[in-house]
A and B are shown apart, each in its own frame.
Chain A
């Protein structure tokens, strides 16, 4: 099964988050690697989008969208560090 990468999650997550999520750093609960969301391996041929750790292959994040709602499953993410503007 072929995969893409987390750059392509920017659109889907951009419907929910106001900041760019591809720059966000996520720590994998399985192996402890901290990676940019852009570096995850994304499988788009499931009903939703599945992002796996580029180091250990564990599922980090899943995203699915339905009419009027969206689901984010962060089962494989210990923390998400999001870029936000510095306070004025």
Chain B
């Protein structure tokens, strides 16, 4: 298996920011060039370490947003209020700056494109980032497994990858996207804002008897609520993979 093919301890490496893309009013994507980057699996993350001149350092985990590639990767970072690391990454960082990170990390919350089972992705906020890596990896690998993404966001201006997801919907590439708005909906949206619930998961996801691979990522309360709804709907707890991030120090 790819994840166990290379045994070696994780070490820090320094990459260079090669591009920056604004993704929403509060998030941006950082493209990092890393000569020694071996590629990764969809769903994996990296640890990023910032070190101040006085030696103080802080580190956070960020999910990889891009499909695997040698020599580079993309992170999408949500700017958190008072976020010690995110305010730098999503604010002060500029093209050409060095960025220290280690990875790829994780083999549990991973989708591999040799699997043909239907896939159900459930994202809360910036929890969509590793799920986007799965969607992009599916395309890059020519995998035809039917994907359904249920994406819960606060409001339209905080949606990540809006244009890309719309374009995928338009060309019908086999990735169906359903949005759930929790605070503010787009004008004319048919339902009022609200949380994800059993009805939405049943209508926009896959039923348990299709035996989908399920990936849920978001803030801890979101992930736990969704995982409970899915298990109550008959999904096997072992088939529901989850990744949580906290309000601080979390994965983006």
- Contact across chains for A22 and B106 when beta carbons are under 8 A apart: yes
Is residue A3 contacting chain B, with contact meaning CB distance below 8 A? yes
Interface size class, chain B: 20 to 34
Closest to A1 in B: B246
Flag if A10 contacts B106 (CB, 8 Å).
Answer: yes
> In the docked arrangement, what's the CA distance between A69 and B109, Å?
29
Q: Determine if B61 and A2 form an interchain contact, defined as CB atoms under 8 angstroms apart.
A: no
A-B contact sample (9 more), CB < 8 A, given A11-B46, A20-B4, A38-B243: A5-B242, A7-B106, A7-B251, A11-B59, A11-B102, A15-B9, A15-B10, A20-B108, A22-B109
Report if B144 contacts A (CB, 8 A).
Answer: no
A-B pairs with beta carbons under 8 Å apart, 10 shown: A4-B220, A4-B245, A11-B59, A14-B102, A15-B9, A19-B4, A20-B106, A36-B108, A38-B243, A85-B1
Contacts A11-B102, A85-B7 known; A44 to B249 CB distance under 8 Å? yes
The complex places the Cα of A52 from the Cα of B107 at a distance, in Å, of 20
Question: Are A7 and B243 in contact, CB atoms less than 8 angstroms apart?
Answer: yes
Whole-angstrom distance between the Cβ of B85 and the nearest chain A Cβ: 13
Asked whether, in the complex, the Cβ of A3 is within 8 Å of the Cβ of B10, the reply is no
* CB-CB contacts below 8 Å: B202-233 with A: 220
Decide if B52 is an interface residue (CB 8 Å cutoff).
Answer: no
Contacts of B250 in A (CB 8 A): 4, 8
Q: Contacting B105 at CB < 8 Å: which of A5, A14, A18, A45?
A: A14
Annotate A1-43 by CB proximity to B: 1 below 8 A, 0 otherwise: 0111111101100111111101100000000000011110000
